[in-house]
Chains A and B, each alone.
Chain A
Amino acid sequence: MSSEVMGEASLSIIGVLLLCLLFVMGVAIARLRNLFAIVILSGIYSLVCAAWYILVDAVDVGFTEAAVGAGMSTVVLLGAILLTSRTAKPERRLARLGPFAVCVAAGALLIYATADLPAVGDAGSPANAGVGLTYLKINWADTGVPNVVTSVLASYRGFDTLGETVVVFIAGLAVVLLLGFGERALGETLRKRKKEDETP
């Protein structure tokens, strides 16, 4: 057995292990009631997802998942927990059946759809043979940027990225309009500190 085949085999074993880990964590998140544990577990879920993306050579997606999914959204959700209670209300047994049926149906559809997916790295797949191949061919002459991901994101699809940036800005604006700038907390803390200084 050549070392290349060994490498391939060990990579797919790691992939299966990571996916099993994801499944176990998904079930655990669904069954837990403690919101703090759920948020931390979903952060770990994102981190394992990121590891799996890197395993299948989607480095940019993995990086984004690690930064946004495991970092940012965990922190935001932790902040949200502080504003609400620490545990979720237990729901009635019958009320669980509806969401369960939806999950099973969606899962069955996804598994049905995976039969049509191309193999990882298949050169003949639509993503690699169509417009992706064109970008790979013309990118260097067009832009002189070695990373095609960057040139597609910022140059060929500059308009889309402008839209994304505006979406991020508007999302921040909407949260700030709903919740305030957080300056009230700053003022409160400063007043409290001042009072403590005045009364030794």
Chain B
Amino acid sequence: MKSDHHLILRVIAKCLLPLITIYAFYVQFHGEVSAGGAFQAGIVLAVTVILYALIFGLAEAMRAVPPWFARGLAALGVLVYGGVGVWAMVQGGQYLEYQALFNEPPGGHDGQHAGIILVELGVLFAVAGAMVSIFYALAGRVAEIRDEDW
């Protein structure tokens, strides 16, 4: 790295990035009992990649999270969400009828829990992937953010 006058920024960002990632997963998997959910978690997860790109450069970020991975993740998220609906149909229920996932009688909640967790995972993938793709598309237009631009 030829210009290292952002040293403090880099060191602090290195400490913060894992914490932000853990927070994203906390929001994701705690969504059933507290505020926030997959949409927010997806944004927070995307923000970690964006923060990494802003501080360590776009090329480094694209090496860590390649553009093909980001767009694939977005498509996979929609597939997972739609797939849960198809799974319910295969089990004899209606589209996205979580109660039918394990053919439970009314009062059983395993299908609801599994369905909600899977669907939220799909939303997480779709939102995080789409946001990172949008950022790459915008930031990729400028070869390098010069220091005097800030």
Contacts and interface: CB of A to CB of B under 8 A. Distances in A.
B5 to A, nearest CB: 20
B31 to A, nearest CB: 5
Contact of B134 (A153, A165, A176, A189): A176
**Main SS class of interface, A:** helix
Interface string B67-93: 110010011011001100100000000
Contacts of A115: none
Given A63-B40, A186-B58, A189-B59, A161 B130 contact: no
A94 B14 CA distance: 51
A9 interface: no
A64 to B, nearest CB: 6
Interface residues of B, number: 62
A169 B130 contact: yes
A7 interface: no
Contacts of A186: 58-59, 62, 67, 140
A194 to B, nearest CB: 12
Nearest to B59: A189
Most A CB within 10 A of own CB, among B31, B34, B122, B134 = B134
B136 interface: yes
Interface of A: 59-60, 63-64, 67-68, 71-72, 75-76, 79-80, 82-83, 141-147, 149-151, 153-155, 158-159, 161-162, 164-166, 168-169, 171-173, 175-176, 178-186, 188-190, 193
